[in-house]
């Protein structure tokens, strides 16, 4: 059996008890650091689960994923995955390959930026539209998503590229503005290190660009054209939102 | 300090180690079963954390929430919350009230249907649009959200009302179809009991209505007009998706 276990947002303490038990019982445990940043080393994880942990590189997860699938035919294999598994396509493909080869698989979920962003910002989960990624290879795609979401009065979560290095908020804003400078006037929330010593700051993208968020991981939420009163109050109290945001209240 | 701790998707084994430690150290621990279904009793939770757990009703969380906030002025109060805290507005208001009264608060995240739905369906997280709730008081709102999302080629997660009783997929489809019968032709995925013995089934809403999903909680994803090939393969293998779905491949 192949078991994909979510590690959650920050370090090994964010794994669920269910996930920890599965790792303790497994014949072999892998971990990947490719699809998200994660702040426990393989040694720290090994200490918690009481056995050796092998690191999977991108190639092991993609071109060579059949190897792991084959291994899971006769053994219980756990792959530890930062955040919640399957938010990345890489993990879907792994489960598809397993099923095709008659290998059972299951997922043990954990915390993810996809829902944690609501807690960190006070923005309501049902008001988020599509998510997009700002990548180092400049692309219009995130701008198109922001525009489509704004048309249906939805917030946009922007994830920032991790490879070859984790992108900072200031870099992401520069990339977006180099394609369409009008985005600088949009209100947004910058977020750093959700799940640990978070920094959350709300203003226009132009102002957010100059704010010091500290270490990565970073992400951004571009606000919908209108805000609910509870969203506004929360951002005022927890993200230093400017008074002018009142003008976009519903 | 007021600490909102996510319990995750199913039972007490879905809490994170971080959340469990906070509950063990707290002066007082509350749990609420109002915002989501959860399958460990207060006694089972008490056994795991080694102390008594008091159940909060809707009224305690809403009109009377100041009481808990006041209590958190001099004590470490943990509120255990099914899923990931703050996905419900109720929890935002609690944190806003705490901040206003000078009470520190924090969130410890856990797994949520908002991201777990990707694992269960193989649908890609960045292709989800706004989420909506189908409520017992018939409303056009979810239909408007489905329509808006389909316009931007996005999937729609439909959560089903819990009060006065948890709604089943068949009942939700009946409610939607009574307002606009055209939805019956849309492709969708029905999901039951994500995080445990899940049942996931993909077809038109009309066919899904007649499928036996077993016990609640249930939810539905209405598909975008177009599917990616990996999404299609996953749904074929894990959700018995019909061959006709090929016609909506990108």
At residue B87, the pLDDT reads 73
Query: Which residue in B87, B96, B238 is closest to A115 by CB distance?
Result: B87
B209 inside 8 A of chain A by CB: no
pLDDT band with cut points at 50, 70 and 90 for residue B86: confident
| CB-CB neighbors (< 8 A) of A84 in chain B | 111, 115-116, 118-119
Mutate to test the interface with B, among A44, A118, A160, A219 (most CBs of B within 10 A): A118
B125 inside 8 A of chain A by CB: yes
* pLDDT at position B88 over 80: no
Size of interface A-B (CB pairs under 8 A): 185
pLDDT band with cut points at 50, 70 and 90 for residue B90: confident
At residue A68, the pLDDT reads 96
B197 inside 8 A of chain A by CB: no
B140 inside 8 A of chain A by CB: no
Query: Which residue in A15, A122, A151 is closest to B17 by CB distance?
Result: A15
- pLDDT per position as a tens digit, B23-49: 999 999 999 999 899 999 999 999 999
B182 inside 8 A of chain A by CB: no
Contact assignment for B107 to A119 by CB distance below 8 Å:
yes
ipTM attached to this prediction: 0.95
| CB-CB neighbors (< 8 A) of B22 in chain A | none
Task: Please provide the average confidence, as pLDDT, over all residues in chain A.
Answer: 96
| CB-CB neighbors (< 8 A) of A89 in chain B | 124, 230
Contact assignment for A128 to B125 by CB distance below 8 Å:
no
* pLDDT at position A225 over 90: yes
B:19-48 residues touching chain A, CB 8 A cutoff:
20-21
At residue A87, the pLDDT reads 73
At residue B89, the pLDDT reads 81
Contact assignment for A116 to B4 by CB distance below 8 Å:
no
The Cα of B202 is separated from the nearest Cα of chain A by a number of Å equal to 16
Are A199 and A183 within 8 A, CB to CB? no
Residue B50 zone, left/alpha/beta (φ > 0; ψ -120 to 50; rest): left
At residue B196, the pLDDT reads 86
- pLDDT per position as a tens digit, B53-62: 999 999 999 8
As a whole number of Å, the end-to-end CA separation of chain B is 50
What span, in angstroms and rounded, lies between the C-alpha atoms of B224 and B220? 13
At residue B154, the pLDDT reads 96
Contact assignment for B14 to A13 by CB distance below 8 Å:
no
| CB-CB neighbors (< 8 A) of B126 in chain A | 130-133
* pLDDT at position B233 over 90: yes
Of all residues in chain B, the one with the smallest CA distance to A99 is: B237
* pLDDT at position B97 over 80: yes
B192 inside 8 A of chain A by CB: no
- Model confidence pTM above 0.90: yes
List domains and CATH numbers for chain B.
Answer: 2-108 (3.40.1010.10), 113-248 (3.30.950.10)
At residue A89, the pLDDT reads 81
- pLDDT per position as a tens digit, A159-210: 999 999 999 999 999 999 999 999 999 999 999 999 888 999 999 999 999 9
* pLDDT at position B167 over 90: yes
Of all residues in chain B, the one with the smallest CA distance to A148 is: B152
A:72-101 residues touching chain B, CB 8 A cutoff:
83-87, 89, 91-93, 95-96, 99-100
* pLDDT at position B75 over 90: yes
What span, in angstroms and rounded, lies between the C-alpha atoms of A176 and A67? 39
Query: Which residue in A6, A13, A230 is closest to B18 by CB distance?
Result: A13
pLDDT band with cut points at 50, 70 and 90 for residue B197: confident
Please state, for a pLDDT cut of 70, what percent of chain B lies above it. Answer: 100
What span, in angstroms and rounded, lies between the C-alpha atoms of A104 and A110? 20
* pLDDT at position B12 over 80: yes
Contact assignment for A127 to B124 by CB distance below 8 Å:
no
- pLDDT per position as a tens digit, A46-105: 999 999 999 999 999 988 999 999 999 999 999 999 999 987 788 988 999 999 999 999
Are A221 and A157 within 8 A, CB to CB? yes
Please state, for a pLDDT cut of 90, what percent of chain B lies above it. Answer: 93
What does the angle CA B222 – CA B225 – CA B226 come to, to the nearest 5 degrees? Answer: 115
Nearest Cα to Cα of residue B77 among B65, B89, B87: B65
The Cα of B133 is separated from the nearest Cα of chain A by a number of Å equal to 9
- pLDDT per position as a tens digit, A96-126: 999 999 999 999 999 999 999 999 999 999 9
| CB-CB neighbors (< 8 A) of A124 in chain B | 89, 92
* pLDDT at position A234 over 90: yes
Q: What is the DSSP letter of B73?
A: T
């Amino acid at each position: 059996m192949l078991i994909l276990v979510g590690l959650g947002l920050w370090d090994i303490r964010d794994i669920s008890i269910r996930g920890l038990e599965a790792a303790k019982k497994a014949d072999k445990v892998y971990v990947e650091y490719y699809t998200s940043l994660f702040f426990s080393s393989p040694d720290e994880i090994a200490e918690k689960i009481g056995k050796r942990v092998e690191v999977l590189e991108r190639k092991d997860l993609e071109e060579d994923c059949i190897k792991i699938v084959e291994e899971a035919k006769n053994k219980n294999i756990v792959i530890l995955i930062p955040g919640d598994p399957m938010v990345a396509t890489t993990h879907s493909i792994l489960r598809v390959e397993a099923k095709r080869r008659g290998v059972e698989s299951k997922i043990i979920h954990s915390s993810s930026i996809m829902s944690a962003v609501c807690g960190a910002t006070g923005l309501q989960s049902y008001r988020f539209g599509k998510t997009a990624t700002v990548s180092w290879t400049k692309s219009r795609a995130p701008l198109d998503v922001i525009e489509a979401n704004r048309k249906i009065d939805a917030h946009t979560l922007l994830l920032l590229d991790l490879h070859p290095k984790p992108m900072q908020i200031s870099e992401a804003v520069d990339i977006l503005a180099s394609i369409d400078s009008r985005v600088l006037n949009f209100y947004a929330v910058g977020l750093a290190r959700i799940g640990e010593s978070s920094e959350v700051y709300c203003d226009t993208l132009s102002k957010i660009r100059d704010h010091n968020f500290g270490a990565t991981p970073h992400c951004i939420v571009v606000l919908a054209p209108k805000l609910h009163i509870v969203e506004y109050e929360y951002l005022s109290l927890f993200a230093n939102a400017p008074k002018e945001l009142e003008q976009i209240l519903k």
